[in-house]
Amino acid sequence: MASHPSIIEFLPTHVLSEVLATVASSSMADLCTLKTCSKELHNLIEEDDFIYQRACMQKLPYIPWFITPPESSFLTRCRQSGNPESLYREGMVQYFSPLGLHDSGLERLKEASEKGHTEARYVCGMILLCSEVEDERKQGVELLRCFLGKRRFVETCRKKVDACLRMMWKNDRTRTLFGNGRRERLCGSNMCRGLQEIAGLESGWPGLNEEDEGVSCVLCRWDYELRQFSKICC
| pLDDT tens by residue, 54-97 | 888 877 877 767 778 888 888 888 888 989 999 999 999 898 88
- Provide, rounded to the nearest whole percent, the portion of the chain with pLDDT above 90: 19
Q: Which residues contact 50 (CB under 8 A, 6 or more apart)?
A: 17, 21, 81
Q: 3-class secondary structure for the chain?
A: CCCCCCHHHHCCHHHHHHHHHHHHHHCHHHHHHHHCCCHHHHHHHHHCHHHHHCCCCCCCCCCHHHCCHHHHHHHHHHHHCCCHHHHHHHHHHHHHCCCCCHHHHHHHHHHHHHCCCHHHHHHHHHHHHCCCCHHHHHHHHHHCHHHCCCHHHHHHHHHHHHHHHCCCCCCHHHHHHHCCCCCCCCCCCCCCHHHHHHCCCCCCCCCCCCCCCCCCCHHHHHHHHHHHHHHHCC
pLDDT at 152 exceeding the cut of 80? yes
Instruction: Give the orientation angle of helix 28-35 with respect to helix 39-47, to 10 degrees.
Output: 130
| pLDDT tens by residue, 224-234 | 888 888 888 77
Who wins on pLDDT, 78 or 7?
78
| pLDDT tens by residue, 185-224 | 777 666 665 554 544 444 444 443 444 445 557 788 888 8
The answer, as to whether pTM is greater than 0.75, is yes
